[in-house]
Chain A
């Protein structure tokens, strides 16, 4: 599976027009310089040799050396990864906190004004291009009202030395509340922009699965037992509605990952997504390949974890 993915990436890579060596050296260079650069990066060898070399080294966790940063791709990604994870984490938290209560609310009162409001809200979330939402947030919150910073991960000089690379963990470990607050203010807008689509989708799924679970017979039984509305809703309806909700969170993580590429670019967020765009614009093949592989592996891994979660939620499911 992963081998097929690397092959696909590699084929695309070499279908690319433009000579990376010429691009990196710039305008003024001699033919000898070019040949030397090609030799150093192994670009002068046959494509099959390049691919086999690539797979062999990738299998050992070595993704090659970035042309642009002249550092191992692995190191470059490692340095940027915490930023992306932090951003994705906050987007999910925001999405879950907003979407699930809204969806349960709407689903338990079908066709009420609250339901209509919630449903329209969900539809808006789905239809919103996240980069435009990001730009609008910057325009309003940073540009007009100056309440939030417009980009980046922290204010220069506030954060202490990096330990884990996660700004929240770092500042907590160091007891630096100012940095913690600063990191929080920085992550808020990008996380909101990134999470908006997920809010919409999650809300709709929560609503429909709550609606569906509410019409089951065990709910009638629970009511007949004399349970009050709230415990019927949360104990019987919600727990049974959870499976589709978890599935969608898992599926949407992939969308979230690709969304992070564009949202990071909007907010100058120094994560893996903006790294990919840098790699693309400078034709840094090993870097692009490395980042794409990393994203794909992460996506596959997430799906596995989600499958495992089902069993935890629903005891009827066993592997």
Chain B
């Protein structure tokens, strides 16, 4: 990045601006990490403690208080109620739980599968590599959401199928990047040295290759979490996600469509939750990537 042009120091008011700016410029990354981190932390707290935080039962239908506009601090339904009189805020709080659960499960499983296959593929090369890369190519030929829709269409909805459908494409990213890194790591001197000391392949992969892949996997994981949350919401919105009855942000948005001209709050708040969550995770991912290693930016593109 070329150095920034210094501000003219002759004009008094501009100096102040310049100084304030340069302070941000000197440490722009922690700001990103802080904002993103706070959003993610709030999400985790809300998700895990939802039964204690939610003011109402998210399923409780009170037909006399149908489609109530947000009451903010003047009543018990802070963000209003939906078409069945269910409290929006409570449903959003419980929805955070589903998003979080699905996202973590997807990231962990696809990370495990992708890193394992990528490391094996890159380390051993040859036939194993060929077979794994063929698999990668075939799955890669599907646009991500399309593959998930296809899987859910044929397997039916359900939490397990949803996670499976989201993992189906996401392990590829890890696999490709990890394979590339492993290819370059395996010929490095420290690997040769370890082998000369008598270490077997499993030990080399576990003790010497994998630790070097940790950083980049962490970065991929953050971004893939953001995309998992959007995909989960998209699939729930299409009615293909978790079974009806469990409040999720996506299904809340789907329900809101029939009341779009009369009840704006049904559509605004769940969507805003998705947007803020994803924004927070992306900020955190950006920040963590820049902090760990700015060069990763390049590796990610490959």
Contact = CB atoms under 8 A, between A and B. Distances in A.
Interface of A: 1, 4-5, 8-9, 12-18, 110-111, 123-124, 126-129, 131-132, 135-136, 138-139, 143, 208, 211, 214-215, 244, 254-255, 257-259, 261-262, 265-266, 276-277, 279-281, 288, 292, 295-296, 299-300
Contact of B141 (A5, A131, A143, A281): A5
A255 B145 CA distance: 8
A16 B155 contact: yes
Most buried by A among B134, B144, B238, B282: B238
Contacts of B220: none
A255 B144 contact: yes
Given A127-B278, A131-B253, A257 B153 contact: no
A15 B153 CA distance: 10
Contact of B143 (A14, A138, A281, A295): A295
Contacts of B271: 129, 132, 135-136
Contacts of B267: 132, 135-136, 139
A129 B230 contact: yes
Nearest to A215: B2
Contact of A292 (B2, B150, B283): B150
Contacts of A135: 253, 256-257, 260, 267, 271
Task: In the A-B complex, list the 4 residue pairs whose CB atoms are closest, starting with the nearest.
Answer: A132-B271, A258-B145, A258-B143, A127-B279
Contacts of A12: 150-151, 153-155
Contacts of B278: 126-129
Given A127-B275, A258-B146, A299-B141, A281 B239 contact: yes
A280 B237 contact: no
Contacts of B160: none
Contact of B155 (A5, A9, A15): A15
B275 A129 contact: yes
Interface string B188-208: 000000000000000000000
A296 B237 contact: no
Contact of A111 (B25, B138, B142, B256): B25
B264 interface: yes
Contacts of A296: 141-143, 146
B279 A123 contact: yes
Interface residues of B, number: 47
B263 to A, nearest CB: 10
Contact of B154 (A13, A244, A262, A300): A13
Given A129-B233, A136-B267, A139-B267, A280 B146 contact: no
Given A111-B25, A255-B144, A208 B297 contact: yes
B240 interface: yes
A300 B283 contact: no
Contact of B237 (A124, A208, A211, A262): A262
Contact of B153 (A127, A131, A288): A288
Contacts of B150: 9, 12, 288, 292
26 contacts: A4-B134, A5-B138, A12-B150, A12-B151, A12-B154, A123-B283, A124-B279, A129-B271, A132-B253, A132-B270, A136-B268, A136-B271, A139-B267, A215-B2, A254-B143, A255-B143, A255-B144, A255-B145, A259-B145, A262-B234, A266-B257, A279-B153, A280-B149, A296-B141, A296-B142, A299-B141
B125 to A, nearest CB: 22
Contacts of A211: 1-2
B261 interface: yes
User: Per DSSP, are chain A's interface residues mostly helix, strand or loop, or mixed?
Assistant: helix
Contact of B275 (A132, A143, A259): A132
Contact of B260 (A138, A258, A262, A292): A138
A152 to B, nearest CB: 15
Interface in B228-267: 230, 233-234, 237-240, 253, 256-257, 260-261, 264, 267
A279 to B, nearest CB: 8
A261 B270 CA distance: 21
Contacts of A254: 143-144
B274 interface: yes
Given A8-B138, A215-B2, A277-B238, A123 B282 contact: yes
Interface in B129-143: 134, 137-138, 141-143
Contacts of A265: 238
Nearest to A214: B2
A97 to B, nearest CB: 23
A266 B141 CA distance: 26
B156 A18 contact: yes
Contacts of A111: 4, 25
Contacts of B4: 110-111
Contacts of B154: 12-16, 288
B115 interface: no
Contacts of B239: 281
A112 to B, nearest CB: 8
B280 to A, nearest CB: 8
Contacts of B230: 129
Interface in B1-41: 1-2, 4, 25
A132 B156 CA distance: 24
Contacts of A129: 230, 233-234, 271, 274-275, 278
B178 interface: no
A252 to B, nearest CB: 10
A16 B156 contact: yes
Of the listed residues A8, A127, A132, A214, the one surrounded by the most CB atoms of chain B closer than 10 A to its CB is A132
Given A12-B150, A123-B282, A123-B283, A258 B144 contact: yes
A314 B278 CA distance: 36
